[in-house]
Amino acid sequence: MSKRITLKKGLDIKLQGEADARKIFRVSSDLYAVKPTDFRALVPRLEVRVGDAVRAGDPLFSDKYRPEVKFTAPVSGVIDAICRGEKRQLLAVTVKADEKITYKRFDVPPAGKLSREKIIELLLESGLWPLIKQRPYDIIADPSARPVAIFVTAFDSSPLAPDYRVLLQNDAAAIRAGLEALDTLAGGALHVNAREKDDWHFPDNARVNYFSGPHPAGNAGVQIHHLAPLHKGEIAWVVNLPDAALIGRFLLGGQVDPRKTIALAGSEVTEPAYIETIAGARIGSIVEGRLRDRGRQRVISGNVLTGDRVEMDSFLGFYHQMLTVIPEGDRPEFLGWAMPGFDKFSMSRTFPSFLFPGKRYRLDTNYHGEQRAFVASGQYEKVLPMDILPVYLLKAILAGDIEKMEQLGIYEIAPEDLALCEFACTSKIPVQEIVADGIALMMKELT
Amino acid sequence: MKFLRSFLDKHKPAFEKGGKYSALHSLFAGVTFLYVPDRVTRSGCAIRDAVDLKRMMSVVVLALVPALLFGMYNVGYQHFLATGGEPGFWSLFLHGFWRVLPMIVVSYVVGLGIEFTAAQLRGHEINEGFLVSGLLIPMVMPVTAPLWMVGLSTAFAVIIGKEIFGGTGMNIWNPALLARAFFFFSYPSRVSGDKVWVDGLADGVSRATPLAEAYQGTPFTHDLGTMFWGLIPGSIGETSAFCILLGAVLLLVTGVASWKIMLAVFIGGAGTALLLQHALPDANPYSHVTVARHLLAGGFAFGAVFMATDPVTAAQTAAGKWIYGLLVGIVAIVIRVLNPGYPEGMMLAILLMNTFAPLIDWCVVQRNVARRLKRGKIPA
C-alpha cells in the first residue's frame, strides 16, 4: 500500500540563489574524474595507469575487498593523473576527455528478459552499481545481499535543492526502465517516495509514497524510518531518482552514458541555473565565469548541509546533483553574539530571523561560535523527524558503546539525516563526523 | 574598532603555541567575547546557525535584568521602610545598587578567577559558562550576606559543583543554587529567620518574609498585590513576581528556556498547594495559605523561571522535562508545608531533582528503546 506521510519536524533554510528552471546551460569539461573518497569505507584497487586510453565504461579502479564492484570512466579519453593524498591514499583518477566520446558496448538483453542476476552483473560491470546504496551504514550496496525493499527518493528537500522534474524532463523512458530493473532487484518490494506536487507518473509496479514537510523529508533514511523501520540484520537499498534514470538509460542503450543535469545555485552565482554536463566534470569548467566578484567564495559539491568543499580543480561528486556557491565567512565580527543580527539566520529565536519567515538569506561559512559541551536540550529533536533520541545516540557513539548505539538507532541513520542537528547546534558539535565515526565503528566491530 | 582588531591580530602569535605568552593561551581565547572568531566550517555543514552559547547566555542575563534592577530598588525600599526616612526613588535605588553591586563583583571575580585557572590548568579555552551563574548567585542571597561568604559560596559551587565534573555543560547541580545551599547549610543564621532580609535593621526589630509568616502561623503582613509587584522582604532577586514574569516572557519567546519545565513546575506546585490547603486540619497554619500565596512567596517563581530551566542540570528529554518540572513543583511545596525544618523548599527541590534528572532521562530513553524494538516489520 502506498502511504501519505506528513512530517512536521525539520527546517527549510531559505538561501538566496535558487536555480532558475527556465535556464539550462550545457557545459563540457576538459577533465573528468572518479573519486574513491566519494564512497564511504571504500578501499580502492587501481586498474589503470597514467597514459592508458579508456572508453566510457572501462574500469578505473575497483573495490579491493569486493573486486566485482567496479568504478568506470564517465567519458572516453586518456588517464591524465592519479591523485594521491597522505599515506598514498587514492583521491581521484582523472580522464582527459576525447573530442568525441567512444563507448564500451555492453550486451544488454531486452527489458522483459532481464533476470535479477543479469541486472546485477551488468550494473557491476558498467560501474553503475555504486549508485545503489545500502542502509544501514550508507555504503555501496552488497550485491550478494537480499534487501527487504528498495527505496527510490524522487525529490530533494535540502536547501536550494534542484527540482528533479527539471533534472529529468527528458528522461521518462529511462526512469521507467530504471525503476523496472530496480523492481526486479527488489523482488517486488520497490517503494518510490515522491512529493504530491511533482505529479510523476511512475510504473504500476512501484509503490508510490507521498511525503510532505520541511527538510529532511526528502532523505531516504527519514522516509524508511516512517515506512518500514530497519531492525538489526535488515538491509534496505536506496537510490536517487536521477541515478535510477542513469541505470535505465544504460539498460536501454547498452552503454555508460552518465550525462546529468545539475543545479548551480547559491548567493554567489550570478545566474543560478541548471547545467547539463557529465558525471565527474571538473568544478572549474562549470563555475568559472558564473560567479559574482564579492570576496572569497566556497564552492560546495552537493548541498550546504552535507556537500563537500571543493576547489576549482576538483570534480563533481559521484552522488551530487548540485553545486552551491556561498561566501566564505572568514572575517571576525565585533561583538557578533551581542548584536541584533538582522542579516543572520537562526532556528533559535534568539535572532530576529523568526519574525521574517519568508526572507531569503546570504549565509556564509562562519562557525558563529566555538565548540562546547552539550548544553541546550531539545533543539536536535526539532529538526529530526524520527523516533530517535539524537543526543543520546551521539553520546553512545562518543563512548563507543556498540550495544547502546544499536538500541538507539545507529542502523537507521546516515550522517545526512542528522545534518540539520549539526547546523542548529548551539554548542557547534560536529554531528555528522560523529555519526560517520559511529558507522565506521559498527562496520569494524560487526564484520 | 579597526585599531583594536589590528592590535589583537598583532599580538595573537605571542599567545599561540611556542609564542612568548603561550602559557596564557586560554586567556587570549577570551578575545572571542569581543569578536566572533573568523573560523570557517571545514567538514560537515558548510553553514551554521547564528546562535552560540554566548548568545543563549546573554539572553538569560537580559531576562534577569528586570528582577535585578527591581531587587536593587527593593533593597533600598526595605531599608528605609525599616529605618524611617522618606527618600526619593533614586535614593532608594542607589542605596540598593551600592549594596548589591559589590556582591555581584565578588561573585564574578571569584567565579571567573576559578574558571580561568581551571581552563589554564586543563589547557582549555575560557568560556562563557559563568556568565549566568555569576549574576544568579547574588540574586538568590539575602542582601545582608557578608561579601566573604558570597565569595566562599561561589568558590564552593564552581569548584565542587562544576569544575570537578569537567566544567561548563558537565555539572550535575545548578551552580547558583549549590552556592546558596552551601551558604544555607554553613551559615544558617545568615540566611534564615526574620533578621537577614532587610539591610540595616536595628537590633530587636525583625522583618519576616511571607513564607516565615506562613511557617510560624502569624498573620500575613503583605497582600497578594504587594507580593506580585515585589515590595516584600526576601532574597535580592526573588521578590517581584512581575519582573520575573518579564524575564520569563523573554526566555519563552526566544525559546532559551523550556516552556515544558516552566509550566510543569507551576502545575506541580499549584496542584500540591491546593491539595495540602484543603487536606490539612484547620489548626495547621498552612491550611490558610492559598495557591497564589505559595506561588508568589519566596523563591518559587524565580526558581521555576531561572533555575529549574537550566538546560544542563534539568532533564533533557521531552517527557523527562514534564516529569522533572512536576516533581520540582511538588517537592518544593511538600518541603514548605510538611517539613518542620525549613520554611522554603524551592532550592532543595530543584537540587534534589537535578540529582534525579539523569535517572528520569534514563527511564525515558529506555522507553524509547523498547518502543523502537516493538515497531512493525516491513509490509510484504
Name which residue leads in pLDDT, A347 or B30. A347
pLDDT of residue A322: 97
Count of positions (residues) in chain A:
447
- B270 vs B219, B266, B267, B333, B356, CA distance in Å? 22, 6, 5, 9, 21
Question: Model confidence over A74-95: pLDDT tens digits?
Answer: 999 999 999 999 999 999 999 9
> In chain A, positions 411-440, which contact chain B (CB-CB < 8 Å)?
415, 419, 422-428, 430-433
The verdict on a CB contact (< 8 Å) between B255 and A348 is: yes
Name which residue leads in pLDDT, A133 or B34. A133
Q: Are B339 and B169 within 8 A, CB to CB?
A: no
Nearest Cα to Cα of residue A189 among A235, A232, A143 = A235
Residue B286 domain boundaries = 55-362
pLDDT band at B11 (very low <50, low <70, confident <90, very high): confident
Regarding whether B77 and B220 lie in a shared domain, the answer is yes
Regarding whether B195 and B306 lie in a shared domain, the answer is yes
Regarding whether B59 and B38 lie in a shared domain, the answer is no
Helix (H) or strand (E) holding A225: helix A220-227
Regarding whether B59 and B26 lie in a shared domain, the answer is no
Task: Kindly state the average pLDDT of the residues B97-104.
Answer: 96
> Which chain A positions have a beta carbon within 8 Å of B45's beta carbon?
304-306, 419, 422-423, 432
State how far residue A198 is from chain B, nearest Cα, in angstroms: 25
Regarding whether B330 and B215 lie in a shared domain, the answer is yes
Regarding whether B156 and B18 lie in a shared domain, the answer is no
Give the integer Cα–Cα distance in Å for B70 and B238: 10
Amino acid identity for residue A255 in this structure: Q
Regarding whether B341 and B305 lie in a shared domain, the answer is yes
Query: Does any CB of chain A come closer than 8 Å to the CB of residue B206?
Result: no
Please give the share of chain A, as a percent, with pLDDT higher than 90. Answer: 85
The verdict on a CB contact (< 8 Å) between B53 and A427 is: yes
> In chain A, positions 347-376, which contact chain B (CB-CB < 8 Å)?
347-351, 353, 363-370, 372-376
Regarding whether B112 and B36 lie in a shared domain, the answer is no
Task: Kindly state the average pLDDT of the residues B251-277.
Answer: 96
Give the integer Cα–Cα distance in Å for A444 and A34: 26
pLDDT of residue B379: 45
**Which one of B58, B166, B371 has the shortest CB-CB distance to A337?**
B58
Split into its structural domains, chain B has a count of: 2
pLDDT band at B380 (very low <50, low <70, confident <90, very high): very low
Regarding whether B28 and B64 lie in a shared domain, the answer is no
Regarding whether B113 and B23 lie in a shared domain, the answer is no
Regarding whether B190 and B291 lie in a shared domain, the answer is yes
Regarding whether B140 and B20 lie in a shared domain, the answer is no
Is pLDDT at B350 greater than 90 in this prediction?
yes
Nearest Cα to Cα of residue A244 among A147, A322, A164 = A164
DSSP code of residue A342: T
Is pLDDT at A303 greater than 50 in this prediction?
yes
State how far residue B258 is from chain A, nearest Cα, in angstroms: 8
Q: What are A163's three cell numbers?
A: 527540482
Q: Is B48 contained in some domain?
A: no
> Which chain A positions have a beta carbon within 8 Å of B375's beta carbon?
229, 231
Residue with the three cell numbers 512529493: A195
Task: Kindly state the average pLDDT of the residues A335-345.
Answer: 82
The verdict on a CB contact (< 8 Å) between A332 and B35 is: yes
Nearest Cα to Cα of residue A262 among A242, A282, A247 = A242
Q: Best of A334, A377, A406, A412 to disrupt the B interface by mutation (most B CBs within 10 Å)?
A: A377
Q: Is B372 contained in some domain?
A: no
* B147 burial level (CB within 10 Å; 0-12, 13-18, 19+): middle
> Which chain B positions have a beta carbon within 8 Å of A13's beta carbon?
47
Helix (H, G, I), strand (E, B) or coil at A434: helix
Q: Is B2 contained in some domain?
A: no
Is pLDDT at B240 greater than 90 in this prediction?
yes
With CA atoms as reference, the chain A residue closest to B61 would be A338
State how far residue B124 is from chain A, nearest Cα, in angstroms: 11
The domain spanning residue B258 has which CATH number? 1.10.3430
Is pLDDT at B181 greater than 80 in this prediction?
yes
Please give the share of chain B, as a percent, with pLDDT higher than 70. Answer: 92
Task: Kindly state the average pLDDT of the residues A121-134.
Answer: 97
Is pLDDT at B27 greater than 60 in this prediction?
yes
pLDDT of residue B30: 65
